[in-house]
Structure 1
Amino acid sequence: MSTPDRTAAILVAAGRGLRAGSGGPKQYRTIGGQTVIYRAMQAFCAHPQVFAVQPVLNPDDAAIFNDAVSGLRHEPPTSGGATRQASVHAGLEALASQKPDIVLIHDAARPFVTAAVISRAIEAAGRTGAAVPAIAVTDTIKLVGETGNVEATPERARLRIAQTPQAFRFDVILDAHRRAARDGRSDFTDDAALAEWAGLTVATFEGDPANMKLTTPEDFVREEVRLGAMLGDIRTGTGYDVHAFGDGDHVMVCGVRVPHNRGFLAHSDGDVGLHALVDAILGALADGDIGSHFPPSDNKWKGAASDRFLKYAVDRVTARGGRIANLEVTLICERPKIGPLRDTMRARISEITGLDISRVAVKATTSERLGFTGREEGIAATASATIRLPWDGKGWSDKGRSD
């Protein structure tokens, strides 16, 4: 069987994740600075062979879902059922009109699926019709009875841990789910078990030990530590911006509208704080400056809100597989007074960037009546950004070493 051209994916995200402890459904919590569900979906949305990504949600989660996956392409979410099996069935029915050849079924609580695993899933389903990713068991497994006593020791060489995405010919797995629904069977813990019940031969392909399902609070702690070790390329950048006052009745500072007897003379909204932060982030990335990405000569940026520029810079970090560790901005002016609005500005920067507010600092000072800021002709801002990127082993030079 040749590999079909049309592959769709179902993201199962209707569960409550109670074993993960407090903090809401685990798929909407953050790990490594990004929501679990965003990480799980992004790999499918970006894969060139996946034409449709179908989320299956608890209907109460629509708003939080939209916030968590902002910017990702996907089909309109469909509501899940009381069990995982019912949720997958709902996702299959939602995709039926699009007639995929292959469907990949993935748990939203597995945020570390890679493009390579997805490609292997598509290839295996095209070749066999039904396949699951599997990894070998390294520990000895014991079969334990209700009394807690060991009843048997299965042969470890034949045991495998099943993962997702599980991959199937679409028409075959949809038919199997419909048969199970008609027969009142709702007890299958994964789609491979349902496929086996339906008489299908289920093959395996190489999984990935990092493709972990997050289940307990300890899982989150462990994976945060692992991600921190992976993001070992720590960089800092600085930024500076200044804008003169002109006519107006307010200024935008750090994303906050501040009443003032003057306005800014600027091509965009003139937000010196956000502009300095953008330059700091781009500097840490060695990725040019704000003017090279948003040239003042381009009229489409005339009057633009600067939160767009800051979000763009953050997305540049995310696209490199990194995250921002800390942002700091210092505003230099006599007036308006920044102190009373400091925490409001921190909260706004936190909202734009997705950083916890504890990682955002806003400070203010004057120039002791010296210079253009002292004469109240404008506002200046300096900023710094600390980011963490995946370490690729490149960039060090041995020049000048004597050892």
Structure 2
Amino acid sequence: MARPSWIAASVFLVFAASNAPAPLYVVWQREMGFPPSTVSLIFVSYIVGSVVALVFGGRASDRFGRRAVLLPALGLAIVACLVFATARTPLWLETGRFFIGLASGAFGAAGSAAIADAFGPGRGGRAALYASAAPVAGSAVGPLLSGVLADVAPAPTRLVFLVLIVPLAAAVIPLTAVGGRPAGVGGRWVQLPSIPREIAGTVVLAMAVAGSPFALAGLFISLGPALIADLLGNDSRTLAGAVSFVVFGAGASAQFLVRRMSIYRVAVVGLTVSALAAVLIAVAVGAASVPVIVVAAIAAGLGQSLAQLAGLTLARGYAPAGRTAEVVSMVWLAGYATVGSGILGLGFLADGIGLRPATYAFCGFFLACVCGAGVAVVRRRPVVEALEADTH
């Protein structure tokens, strides 16, 4: 059995690769000459790949074992890096994003379940922490590395992907030690994930908690660089990567700071900070302020990370035996569906009315969604408080 830390490191690498393109969208946009809506379509290609992997990957992982899903997904991540490094048209970028979406979706579901398996019974809180922090940390480091290399090294749209291929290939070694098929799990592997009826309300609540904050954080790895370049007047790829790093770096750090808080408090704090992030993004765009957008990025990262931790812990804690990955997939699916539809809508709205007013509409809509999720958490407080964030 592989160590949980090695599995988490593999998840980290895949998510680093999945978000490395973020600071490069503006570069590709200028080289290839496409509008904001195409940036949204490229990003949504990633979401589509992630959704496909979540729909089938979680069930396949429960049916055939974690290794049978994770190793092919790792191969797709390497192929995606090669596609990005040789991209010539938006279609290449969409293809690369689709492949890396498949990989990250598979690692989001099967990787989380593999970490839980490696920790074993009675350590669900720590497993949730690793499973939630690893993708967030990878999402932070990938854009920062990409942005810095784009500003200081040759081949700005190629080098980062060639660099990432090396550790991704090395990750094959620990993943071969991941446990095989879970005992006693059968059934068809090509099957849509579903919510067990007895925990439907709790899983829907987990999906609502994790969903809208995901969209606010996702803004910074999709159209965020365009906001910084066009509305704030700063064309630095390092700054764009640093803002993405702040989003996810703040989130990864926050998860270790709330280890002893109840999941109810984690959810409430995460949603409250996400609401603040929506307001700050709108203020930053209106004032054309880089400092405010950095503060907004910190708030978005904190809120998304804490809400994700709460949602994953709820889903995993109430999942029936043998259906952990399937139930976790539903929470990831809610997050990806929310961010995908939100960013796609923002891109096409920006084509029609401009990026600034479109961003105001985006922030207002998701502020309302976050507040609605907060009301739901308060109303179902006893259910949420039944799970403690026991991560020590």
Does TM, scored on the shorter chain, surpass 0.5?
A: no
Identify, as 1 or 2, the structure richer in strand: 1
Structure with the larger helix share: 2
TM-score normalized by structure 1?
Answer: 0.28
Greater RCO between the two (CA within 8 Å, min separation 6)? Answer: 2
Structure 2 length as normaliser, TM-score? 0.29
Higher Rg: 1
